[in-house]
A and B are shown apart, each in its own frame.
Chain A
Amino acid sequence: DAGVTQSPTHLIKTRGQQVTLRCSPKSGHDTVSWYQQALGQGPQFIFQYYEEEERQRGNFPDRFSGHQFPNYSSELNVNALLLGDSALYLCASSPRGTGYTFGSGTRLTVV
């Protein structure tokens, strides 16, 4: 049984560019959450998707947007990249908000 799959694993982008990160949730999980984790910090909540709609959002600017597809997979888009967007981006899926399963993350470096 595959867990949460994220792609790509690593990415280098230039300031001002746009990036799309992808996530396939664990089988049977319908809720997908995205987190940003800076080095030495805990994961910071970006947003959560359920039934193809953004259900909750953390304190992130509108440059961060997302989408959930009918098969529950999800994308995170970041526009106008800043150096400070460099971080590990984590996707987590869950059934009804308990016992999240995380992917291994996408390491984004903005230069």
Chain B
Amino acid sequence: SQKIEQNSEALNIQEGKTATLTCNYTNYSPAYLQWYRQDPGRGPVFLLLIRENEKEKRKERLKVTFDTTLKQSLFHITASQPADSATYLCGMNTGFQKLVFGTGTRLLVSP
């Protein structure tokens, strides 16, 4: 079955820098790769979706890349702010198949 790996260690960066989070997967390439933000005690919030035939997707300060050869997605937050501190989840699915998540990576942006 599909396995999704995200760095379980927290990522600490300074305000203004670019945060880069990694999501690696095994087996087949999903049709959709999705990134979500989750704050403590709250449900995940959808951020970006990238399709398998897309290399890159941007939304304001966010950028997602999808490399089906490396079986990897990178999630970038430019000009990071303390308000960006949260856990970021990578999820994958194909069509109507279930959305499967990694364990998430916690991002801490210090002033």
Which residues of the partner chain A approach B101 to less than 8 Å between Cβ atoms?
Answer: 35, 42-44
Q: Mark B69-108, 1 if CB is under 8 A from A, else 0.
A: 0000000000000000000010101011111111110000
Interface residues of B in 11-65 (CB under 8 A from A): 32, 34, 36, 41-46, 49
How many residues belonging to B are interface residues under a CB distance threshold of 8 Å?
A: 25
Number of A-B contacts (CB under 8 A): 70
Contact A97 B95 (CB under 8 A): yes
How many residues belonging to A are interface residues under a CB distance threshold of 8 Å?
A: 30
Contact A4 B43 (CB under 8 A): yes
- 26 A-B residue pairs with Cβ-Cβ distance under 8 Å, sorted by A, are A31-B96, A33-B98, A33-B99, A35-B101, A42-B6, A42-B89, A42-B101, A42-B102, A45-B100, A48-B98, A56-B98, A88-B41, A92-B43, A97-B32, A97-B93, A97-B96, A97-B97, A98-B49, A99-B46, A100-B36, A100-B91, A100-B99, A103-B43, A104-B42, A105-B41, A105-B42
Q: Please report B residues at the A interface, Cβ cutoff 8 Å.
A: 4, 6, 32, 34, 36, 41-46, 49, 89, 91, 93, 95-104
Q: List the 6 shortest-distance A-B pairs measured between CB atoms, nearest first.
A: A102-B43, A42-B101, A42-B103, A45-B98, A102-B44, A56-B98
